[in-house]
Amino acid sequence: MTLEIQEFDYADLCAIGSCTSLRTLVMDIVDDAPYWESDRMAAHLISLDALHELMLIDHGHVVCKAIAAPNLAVLSMSYGMHTPEYELSPAYFAQCIRLMLQRTPGRSGHPLQAMTMDASTFFANDDDYRDFLSVLLCAPSLKYLELQYMDAYYSDDLDDEPSRSIIRSLILRTDSSDLPVVPMLEHLKIDLCGAYGTKHAELLREIALSRWADDGGGPKICLTLQAMCRDACSCATRGSWQSELEAHGILICRMGCTDLPEF
């Protein structure tokens, strides 16, 4: 089912709740619901036990606070399709997602298998960072993670990587008392709007070696990288960098770089 509407209200929620055999749901919602509708929805929980795949666009995320989807396997989140991203609240959206994923009685985390996170998830402020990290911590069985990183459009230095970011949290540290983030991850895809600089390359190298180096199986593709470069590719994730990971059985799928748009 695909739902593309301006606003989502209580009647819409009840209608979706009646679709007990629903397997796939796309919620593309332009505007937030009026506060009185939000209050009604917050007090009404629907169970979509058969739901396998969920795609959320803009204010579609807010509906998740009223949904239980204990068997959801694939989750995709997109921001800024209808409204400029700076007018949205991605941290609040993350809180709504977390509420849905926490509704898995009798389990140690949600059994979600694949997740795509869009835009703000990379260079978020501290509060946003914690909210997005809490979403990943709700899905310890996750095997596939795709991060679509758009902020390079607005950064003067593509090689500047802040110390706190979702991607840095993916380094598995054996000497840390913190809960590991998606410890079962088998494949990471990064879609970068810009070239991979040396700091990006070093960070991805650290993630890959901490998770997949010499795991006892044969060589396998664990990283998929895509970038946008002007003219010829200038990414630092080629040559000796790629060869080092391959020596540890970690193969990289390098999708062809596309042209960076002019602004």
Poorest-pLDDT segment among 21-25, 122-126, 137-141? 122-126
pLDDT digits (tens, 9 = 90+) for 99-121: 999 998 777 899 999 999 875 44
Is pLDDT of 155 > 50? no
Residue 164: CB atoms within 10 Å: 13
pLDDT digits (tens, 9 = 90+) for 1-10: 999 999 888 8
247, amino acid identity: A
Is pLDDT of 130 > 80? no
What's the pLDDT at 90? 72
What's the pLDDT at 156? 38
Structural domain contains residue 258: yes
Ramachandran bin of 89, using left for φ above 0, alpha for ψ from -120 to 50, beta for the remaining angles: beta
Return the ∠ at Cα 144 (arms to 90 and 17), rounded to 5°: 60
Structural domain contains residue 149: yes
Is pLDDT of 256 > 80? no
Helices of type H across 9-125: 10-17, 35-42, 90-101
Is pLDDT of 14 > 80? yes
What are the tokens at 85?
């991203």
Structural domain contains residue 120: no
Domain count, the chain: 1
- Residues ≥6 apart with Cβ < 8 Å to 70: 47, 49, 103, 104, 105, 107, 110, 111
Is pLDDT of 187 > 80? yes
Ramachandran bin of 239, using left for φ above 0, alpha for ψ from -120 to 50, beta for the remaining angles: left
CA-based Rg of the chain, rounded to a whole angstrom? 19
Residue 33, CA atoms < 13 Å, CB-side half-sphere = 19
- The pLDDT confidence band at residue 255, using thresholds 50, 70 and 90, is confident
CA distance 149 to 119: 5
Q: What is the mean pLDDT of the chain?
A: 82
CA distance 99 to 211: 28
pLDDT digits (tens, 9 = 90+) for 19-71: 999 999 999 998 877 655 667 777 789 999 999 999 999 889 989 999 999 99
How, if at all, do strands 74-78 and 258-259 pair?
A: unpaired
Residue with more model confidence, 105 or 15: 15
Answer yes or no: are the C-beta atoms of 33 and 5 closer than 8 Å. Answer: no
Poorest-pLDDT segment among 48-52, 174-178, 214-218? 214-218
Helices of type H across the chain: 10-17, 35-42, 90-101, 126-137, 198-212, 240-247
What's the pLDDT at 32? 79
Domain that holds residue 225: 143-263
Using the Cα atoms of residue 24, residue 26, residue 32 and residue 33 in order, give the sign of their dihedral. negative
Structural domain contains residue 200: yes
Answer yes or no: are the C-beta atoms of 229 and 193 closer than 8 Å. Answer: no
Return the ∠ at Cα 64 (arms to 81 and 153), rounded to 5°: 30
pLDDT digits (tens, 9 = 90+) for 64-100: 999 999 999 999 998 767 766 556 677 788 889 999 9
CA distance 23 to 245: 38
Structural domain contains residue 118: no
Structural domain contains residue 8: no
Structural domain contains residue 182: yes
Structural domain contains residue 94: no
Answer yes or no: are the C-beta atoms of 89 and 127 closer than 8 Å. Answer: no
pTM of the model: 0.87
- What average pLDDT score do residues 194-211 get? 89
Using the Cα atoms of residue 195, residue 200, residue 206 and residue 208 in order, give the sign of their dihedral. negative
